[in-house]
Structure 1
Amino acid sequence: MGQGGETEQGTYTRLLTAIGDYRRHHRVGPDLLGPRPQGIDGQEWDHLTDAVDLYTHARVQHRLEQLRTRTQAERAVLLPATSPLRQPPPGTDGPSRRSPTR
């Protein structure tokens, strides 16, 4: 990818981050993007909104994985190898990534 594409990608990433952060901290009131427009502009609005949601989800998943890795590394340093706290629960590959059922 050339310089122009990288600059555009960086700008788009900063935009998605800013909108996602705004939505997370300002839940009351109108959406930062405004009401959904009609027609083709509405389709573009949907695309941007979906991109914000997907990007936010990916950031959260990445951060959770970093926390899991750090926690496992800290346990490995602090706990003896035979400690049950150092091992994942039986029948799993580590912490559950599924949402709890109600």
Structure 2
Amino acid sequence: MNLPESWMEEITAPGDNDEDEQRTYTKLLTALGDYRRRHHRAGPDTLGPRPPGLDAEEWDHLTDAIDLYTHARIQSRLEQLQARTATTRAALLAPTSPLRRQPPPGTNSPGHQPPTR
């Protein structure tokens, strides 16, 4: 089995249970690998410097895709950590503890609307 190229390690891989995310990750790596092959890029820099002319548009598109994918992975991971922290806090703290995060009064009631100006 071939080891992944060093630049692949920079892009966070999805979890094993999310098939949609795995497909997105595979499509991204395939597109990046194809670009690198066609433009004779090698080394740890994923896409190399921004090329001049028409190739710059593809470079921009792939760079945006990397950024969006990375942002989505980080956001997903943060949401998982926040949920786990809230669950742990709720399990460890008594319901009356001042450390337990309580929503401001009235914001969770049915029909509550934020104040208008």
* Distance in 2 between residues matched to 1:59 and 1:8, nearest whole Å: 14
The reply on whether 1:32 has 2:46 as its aligned counterpart is: yes
Shift, 1:11, TM fit: 2.1
The reply on whether 1:11 has 2:26 as its aligned counterpart is: yes
Equivalent of 1:42, from 56, 62, 67?
Answer: 56
The reply on whether 1:73 has 2:87 as its aligned counterpart is: yes
1:3-41 deviation line (CA, Å, top 9, x unaligned): xxx89745224x18x99xxxxxxxxx9732111111221
Question: Structure 2 counterpart of 1:35, which letter?
Answer: P
* Distance in 2 between residues matched to 1:9 and 1:64, nearest whole Å: 19
Unaligned segments of structure 1, at least 5 residues: 1-5, 20-28, 94-102
Tell me how many residue pairs correspond in the alignment. 76
Identify if the C-alpha distance between structure 1 residues 59 and 8 changes in structure 2 by more than 3 Å, giving closer, same or farther. closer
* Distance in 1 between residues matched to 2:86 and 2:97, nearest whole Å: 13
* Distance in 1 between residues matched to 2:24 and 2:89, nearest whole Å: 38
The TM-score with structure 1 as length reference comes to 0.59
Query: Which structure has the bigger radius of gyration?
Result: 2
What is the Cα-based RMSD across aligned positions, in Å?
3.5
Give the structure with the larger helix fraction: 1
Counting aligned pairs with the same residue, the percent is 61
Unaligned segments of structure 2, at least 5 residues: 1-19, 34-42, 108-117
* Distance in 2 between residues matched to 1:75 and 1:44, nearest whole Å: 46
